[in-house]
Amino acid sequence: MSISSSSGLDRWNFYHKDSKKMRTIFVPYKGRRLEVDIEPINYDRYEHDRLIVKKYMKDYEKPLDSTTGKLPSRSVIESKFFTKIFIIWRMILIPNVFDRNSYLLLTHIGLLIARTWLSLLVTKLDGQIMKDLMGFKIKLFLRDMVYWFLFAVPASYVNSGIKYLTKRLALNFRTNMVRYCHDLYMNSRLVYYKLQFNHNELPDYRLSYKTIDQNLTEDIRKFCDSLTSLFANVGKPAIDLVFFAIYLRDNIGTVGILAILSNYLITGMMLKRQSPNFNRLWKKKTQMEGIYYNYNLNLVNNCEEISFYKGIGFERRKVYRIFKDLADHIVVEIKERFAYQLFEDYILKFTWPAFGYIFAGLPILFEKPKSGYVPDETSNMKSFVVNKRLILSMADAGSRLMYSIKDINRLSGVTDIVFTLLVNLHQVHDSNFQYGLTNSQGNGFSSNFKINSFVSRQQLANGSIGTGTAIYSNGINGTIQNSYPGLRMERIPVIVPSPKGVNGKHLLNNLSFNIAKGQNLMILGKNGVGKTAIVRIISELWPLYSGLLSKPSSNDIYYVSQRQYFITGSLRDQIIYPLNHIQMLQKGFTDETIIGYMNEVGLGYLLERFGSLDYNPSADNSNKEDEAELKNRLIDEVVVNGKSVQVYDSNTGGSVDGKKSWFSLLSGGERQKVVFTRILFHNKPFVVMDEPTSAISYDYEDSLFEFLRKKNITLITITNRDSLMKYHDYLLELVDEDHIRFTKIDEEYLKYFESADSEVKYLEGELRKMRELRRRRDELKEKLEGYEDGRSSLKAIKSK
């Protein structure tokens, strides 16, 4: 099959530039596509950063005291906030001096200085205007007004530039943070899945995986916005204080400046003492808002099930209770803020300006005129106006610094949340992640703070590093062998991952079996015995605490989950997942290939129902898109075998009415058939399936497994249907934790399943056996009851 592209087929996914090996993607923007360069992932950087985070936890954080159950005293608690900011700054926000954010930050500081300088000039001009106005100097007054309008041009530009750079820095910081966190969160180490098993002994560093969506979106945004706003909220008044104090020293003297600054310092200490713990209040409110948000999201995701069970009353009471807790906390916060706000406004808005008027009038009231000098009232007016404005500006700058304490507390709270997110991501991303089992230091990491290259083989063999510190005595010690021509498990315990390690809950003990390629395995067992857990171990979602797992290469195995997963996209996207349309064409597949597979599994009628493979329930299919919008979603135009194929971005950003999705449009059986279409499309040598036909009729079940048999696919099937036994060679029966039977399915047993009629006869025979066993059970009960009655009568006679 020949493929060519008008705009470069390979560019849509990613391509590398020769100079910096940058990856480039195309982003739709206002009817056109922008080229965005993305640096490739440097995993060495993340390993280096993990050591930094681990060292911080080792130096600054200690586990709970085993005797008192409380946190040990810390002498460095006040510096932890600045240390966290510094770590995030150096690792993510501005990793090197020549980063583009460095230039934006320097420009931002330059504009803040320019704004203060322009404010000083405008203040002097204001005094000059007042002087010329009081002296009835019309020409000079008009000249001053011309200067005023001229100053307005750079002043407006500087003010707008500061706002622009503040938002631009916040966006750049957020981009760096999101990219960094997602590179850790979504990669081959499956952090997004394993995060639910992480555990921290320190309560401040515990992260619920249920609120990870809020941490990655809203909390990162709040952190970046708060940090960049702090530059303007603290930088501008700080610069104002320095510049205005230097200028005022010549007018009111050094003593006056020192008196003003002393007033600021004393009242600032008073405000600091009276200030509530805004950090604690804000952090707790953020956590409670996350709980409230996630529970409402749960109502949206499970609205149909709640309706079937008529659970709306229970859910309403629970929502009210969650919201009441949030509202009660907000009431407490409002009350604490009220008393502080009253005191703060009195000091900052009235006391400081009053002192400003006093110090501005001192030079005029107590200055002794020189001999022969006649005081000029207009000059005194100018001096008073300039001094008053500068002192009031200093008071305003000081008050904004005091107000920024709340901003710092807010930033401190969100910094704690973001840093907790980074700590947990690095803990799980660690190649030695132990699923919650921490080291002896209790800092949440799996290994002690030592570089592995400095650890001797004897120490690793003994399971200890350093001075007798046990690390993996009850941790992960199993062996995984890849590229094995089959599937083998030897003496493997199936354990639910937890901080207890091998002492956690055991589902199965000493699981052992071995099948070669071409030999199908069927796994039977009651619910909760551990069938799905076996698949999780094979796919390396769960740890292998001990034993040997030999399996094919990960590229040769296709896993089918018990719960079907569908994405936002077209019908084609559901079948070729996780590939996209471009990748499908690159692999040599066409729409005709997909339609053929759909016909094989009995889903050909979906094309009549939805019109084509391009149908997308998340798009507005009732109205045709306008030309501009359609062009904006056009990714590429590809020529396949001489035929032009237009490739569109099928992710429209969500459903129009919020109700249409593939999960709701397809029945349970249809969803499972779509999954079988995926299996045929990807055509992997090994397929592991968990309850793949629970919603499919028996006749279609047979045809689907016949297709898989013709494909020479090796099957590992978890099911409760005995009828599938005829398609498998070996049976793994899970009775309980210690009773596991691995047997070969012989011809004597399979003869009952040669046809549907023979299978019915077999099942009828099993029912007759069951009835006979029940009859025998009743007989034994009657005999036992008679025996007990006889013994009771004999005892009664003897007692008489």
Question: In this predicted model, what pLDDT tens digit does every residue of 7-60 receive, in sequence order?
Answer: 444 444 444 444 455 666 666 666 566 666 777 777 788 888 999 998 888 888
Question: In this predicted model, what pLDDT tens digit does every residue of 135-171 receive, in sequence order?
Answer: 777 888 788 788 888 878 888 888 888 889 999 999 9
CA distance 636 to 176: 29
Residue with the bigger pLDDT between 43 and 672: it is 672
Residue 442 Rama label (left phi>0; alpha psi -120 to 50; beta): left
pLDDT more than 90, % of the chain: 24
pLDDT bin (cut points 50, 70, 90) of residue 652 is: low
pLDDT value for 656: 44
pLDDT value for 468: 38
Region 539-564: what's the mean pLDDT?
92
Name, in order, each residue with C-beta under 8 angstroms of 366's C-beta and a sequence gap of 6 or more. Answer: none
pLDDT more than 70, % of the chain: 68
Residue with the bigger pLDDT between 160 and 650: it is 160
Average pLDDT of the chain is 77
pLDDT value for 532: 92
Is a pLDDT exceeding 90 seen at residue 224?
yes
CA distance 202 to 416: 13
pLDDT value for 11: 42
pLDDT bin (cut points 50, 70, 90) of residue 681 is: very high
Closest by CA to 228, choosing from 174, 279, 177, is 174
CA distance 279 to 282: 5
Is a pLDDT exceeding 50 seen at residue 457?
no
Is a pLDDT exceeding 50 seen at residue 282?
yes
Please report the domains of the chain, with CATH numbers, ordered by start residue. Answer: 51-429 (1.20.1560.10)
538, 494 Cβ separation under 8 angstroms: no
pLDDT value for 10: 44
Region 479-485: what's the mean pLDDT?
92
Record the tokens describing residue 363, joined without a space.
């030079």
Record the tokens describing residue 590, joined without a space.
């066409």
pLDDT value for 302: 78
pLDDT value for 717: 95
pTM reported for the whole predicted model? 0.74
> How many Cα atoms within 13 Å fall on the side-chain side of residue 449?
16
Q: Hunting for tokens 């996207």 — which residue is that?
A: 573
Alpha-helical regions (H) of 346-469: 352-366, 377-429, 457-462
pLDDT bin (cut points 50, 70, 90) of residue 687 is: very high
pLDDT value for 490: 94
Region 119-128: what's the mean pLDDT?
74
Q: Which helix (H) or strand (E) holds 29?
A: strand 23-29
> How many Cα atoms within 13 Å fall on the side-chain side of residue 41?
14
Is a pLDDT exceeding 60 seen at residue 364?
no
Residue with the bigger pLDDT between 98 and 245: it is 98
Is a pLDDT exceeding 90 seen at residue 89?
yes
Is a pLDDT exceeding 80 seen at residue 426?
yes
Is a pLDDT exceeding 70 seen at residue 78?
no
CA distance 72 to 57: 14
Q: Which helix (H) or strand (E) holds 524?
A: strand 521-525
When mean pLDDT is compared across 359-363, 608-612, 671-675, the lowest value belongs to: 359-363
Is a pLDDT exceeding 70 seen at residue 429?
yes
In a 3-state reduction of DSSP, which class is residue 757? helix
Q: At what angle do helices 312-345 and 278-301 cross, to 10 degrees?
A: 160
Q: How far is CA 95 from CA 23, 214, 411, 540, 751, in A?
A: 19, 25, 20, 34, 69
Single-letter code of the amino acid located at 17:
K
pLDDT bin (cut points 50, 70, 90) of residue 603 is: very high
pLDDT value for 378: 55
pLDDT value for 755: 55
Record the tokens describing residue 203, joined without a space.
């309560």
pLDDT value for 630: 59
pLDDT value for 460: 39
When mean pLDDT is compared across 202-211, 424-433, 501-510, the lowest value belongs to: 202-211
